[in-house]
Amino acid sequence: MNTEHRSPLWIYDTTLRDGAQQEGISLSVDDKLTIAHQLDKLGIPFIEGGWPGANPKDEQFFQKLQASPLRQTEVVAFCSTRRPGKLAADDPILRPILAAETRWVTLFGKSWDFHVTAGLKTTLGENLTMIADSIEYLSQQGRQIIYDAEHWFDGYKHNPGYALDTIQAAVQAGAEWIVLCDTNGGTLPHEIAESIQAVRRVIEQQHLHPLPRIGIHTHNDSGTAVANALAAVQQGAEMVQGTINGYGERCGNANLCTLISNLQLKLGYHCVEPEQLTELTPSSRLISELVNLAPDDHAPFVGLSAFAHKGGIHVSAVQRDPQTYEHIDPDTVGNQRRIVISEQSGLSNVLEKANHCGITLDKHHPVSRQLLQQLKQLEHEGYQFEAAEASFELLLRQALDQRPSLFELHGFDVHCYCGSLETRQQGGFSSTALATVKVLVGMQEILTAAEGNGPVSALDAALRKALVDVYPTIAKFQLRDYKVRILDGKRGTSAKTRVLVESSDGQDRWTTVGVSTNIIGASYQAVAEGIEYGLLRPCFKDSDDCPMNIRAILDVRVS
């Protein structure tokens, strides 16, 4: 690992604009404000807030941010150069940019002659004037300019002379940063160097003081956005643009979580303060929640599985020295080591996972071998405990006789009402389900029913309704995610099904698993264990939140 001290790099986040262009992402104004403040906490120097005037949401964002300013981050307004045939001072497109009252403005212009003639439908000379006039006008209004050379690398490949002319126009007009954009994402790392060296020569020939600085903006259409940005930095780029989690149009932008980690921890550049770097994983996961996309568990540095160890030999080695199978300390990026339980597990996994649950097991303890064999048998039947850690802890507690029986199912029944065939054919399909459950709690048998928009929803609601009077904490529980996998699809409708259910109490989340040839039976098992674990969780941790009636049951078992 290279710890050589190098000059600072300026990280520029465009999650709120370029990232929000990803299919399936739609951010509210409040979402954008929350993300901006989190990026400020992370220590990102520049945040591109959006294009004022392009939509009301971006205008509101800049207005609200003036009432709730960031502490250390510069918020940047984004806009294009003026339109052909107008003066910048007369073009309405630039007025909202000034109204946003940001010190920095990112202005993008055309570098590719093909885009000038086919897209803007103007002359190459007029495009150069548009670039210069727009930068000069905004500079005269007291703004500092970052010039994004759109489609730079494609333009340089097709007409290098004209592409360099556009850079010269921006430099002479007063741009402080020249950012080279691989807008189509088709450039490979070895092609980056020549372009950047050519731009540096053009800038140096201007004999300006101070000289404009170079930045890089890459897209991931060839899967090389991060590699391209790293190559650019090694050629002298001082600003790196990208998005958290690599969000962006088509295949996304350069992933700042990966870039910041590699630049700071591997190449020795200063991007953020070391204590701020620990906010990287929390930032990644918070923003994935706000954009309503599942986190990538296998993302480098910040993914849930980035430091997960499954094979028994790996676990044993990591316990002796984490460097055997970890390229960095997960704590440096705010992540943590995980020991995963599966059919490939050895005793080391079981013991380490038990320790994570607060239970110290010796490898000679009879429960250790017993539990290992039980896990392997259950996974052979289709269970998956690496994704259902709550079910694993319940299994562990049961083996140690630390799992009290809080309720016992005496039967359930589910009916679905799916509307008439005529209604479905007219596009008005609706589905309602009614579930009835009978459970035994202590000596009391409870029979109740509830409706839901599907059989699992109705079953979950009926079970909660039956138990909430005895265990009021259940009122806080929510079913957050539900996944179904057919394990042996060749058997058709008689195939075995695995169900994973994610539950939450509003703060923490936990996942449970059920397996059965009956999808409703598998669902019930996962839902019921989710409720059971939610009730027992604070008691396992010896928390004051442990309900008194459950603590009493546990005390009786211990005595």
For 243-270, write each residue's pLDDT tens digit: 999 999 999 999 999 999 999 999 999 9
- What pLDDT was estimated at residue 379? 77
- What pLDDT was estimated at residue 491? 65
CB 329 within 8 A of CB 265: no
CB 372 within 8 A of CB 378: no
Q: Which residues pair with 253 in a beta bridge?
A: 219
- Provide φ and ψ at 402, rounded to 5°: -120, 20
Kindly report the average pLDDT of the chain as a whole number: 88
Any idea of the CA torsion for 441, 444, 449, 450, to the nearest 10 degrees? -40
- What pLDDT was estimated at residue 205? 86
Pairing assessment for the beta strands 444-452 and 497-504 based on DSSP bridges: unpaired
Q: What is the pLDDT along the chain (559 residues), one digit of tens a residue?
A: 444 456 689 999 999 999 999 998 999 898 899 999 999 999 999 999 999 988 899 999 999 998 888 999 999 999 999 999 999 999 999 999 999 999 999 999 999 999 999 999 999 999 999 999 999 999 999 999 999 999 999 999 999 999 999 999 999 999 999 999 999 999 999 999 889 998 988 888 877 777 899 999 999 999 999 999 999 999 999 999 999 999 999 999 999 999 999 999 999 999 999 999 999 998 998 898 788 777 898 999 999 888 887 766 776 777 777 788 778 999 999 988 877 665 555 676 678 778 878 888 888 888 888 888 888 788 778 887 766 889 989 999 998 888 888 999 898 899 887 665 555 555 555 578 999 999 999 889 999 999 998 888 999 999 999 999 999 999 999 888 888 878 776 666 667 888 989 898 877 889 899 999 888 999 999 999 999 999 999 888 877 778 888 888 776 554 4
3-state helix, strand, coil in the chain (%, to 5): 45, 20, 35
**CA-closest candidate to residue 263, choices 231, 310, 295:** 231
- CA–CA separation, 133 and 149 (whole Å): 15
Cα–Cα distance list, 138 to 87, 145, 166, 175 (Å): 12, 8, 17, 10
Provide the 10 A C-beta neighbour count for residue 121.
8
- What pLDDT was estimated at residue 74? 96
- Provide φ and ψ at 193, rounded to 5°: -60, -50
- Provide φ and ψ at 456, rounded to 5°: -70, -40
- CA–CA separation, 87 and 318 (whole Å): 64
CB 336 within 8 A of CB 301: no
Pairing assessment for the beta strands 432-441 and 444-452 based on DSSP bridges: antiparallel
Burial 465-499 (b: 16+ CB within 10 A, else e): bbbeebbebbeebebeebeeeeeeeeeeeeebbbb
- What pLDDT was estimated at residue 421? 53
pTM for the full predicted model: 0.69
Query: Mutual orientation of helices 519-540 and 455-467 as an angle, nearest 10°?
Result: 40
Map out the domains of the chain with their CATH numbers. Answer: 10-290 (3.20.20.70), 308-399 (no CATH), 408-558 (3.30.160.270)
Residue 262, both tokens: 């590699």
CA-based radius of gyration for the chain: 29
- What pLDDT was estimated at residue 227? 97
Residue 346, Cβ density class (10 Å: 0-12 exposed, 13-18 middle, ≥19 buried): middle
- What pLDDT was estimated at residue 332? 95
Task: Write the CB contacts of 466 (distance below 8 Å, at least 6 apart in sequence).
Answer: 407, 437, 439, 441, 446, 447, 448
- CA–CA separation, 17 and 57 (whole Å): 11
* DSSP letters for 231-288: HHHHTT--EEEEBGGG--STT-B-BHHHHHHIIIIIS--BSS-HHHHTTHHHHHHHHH
- What pLDDT was estimated at residue 378? 86
Residue 88, Cβ density class (10 Å: 0-12 exposed, 13-18 middle, ≥19 buried): buried
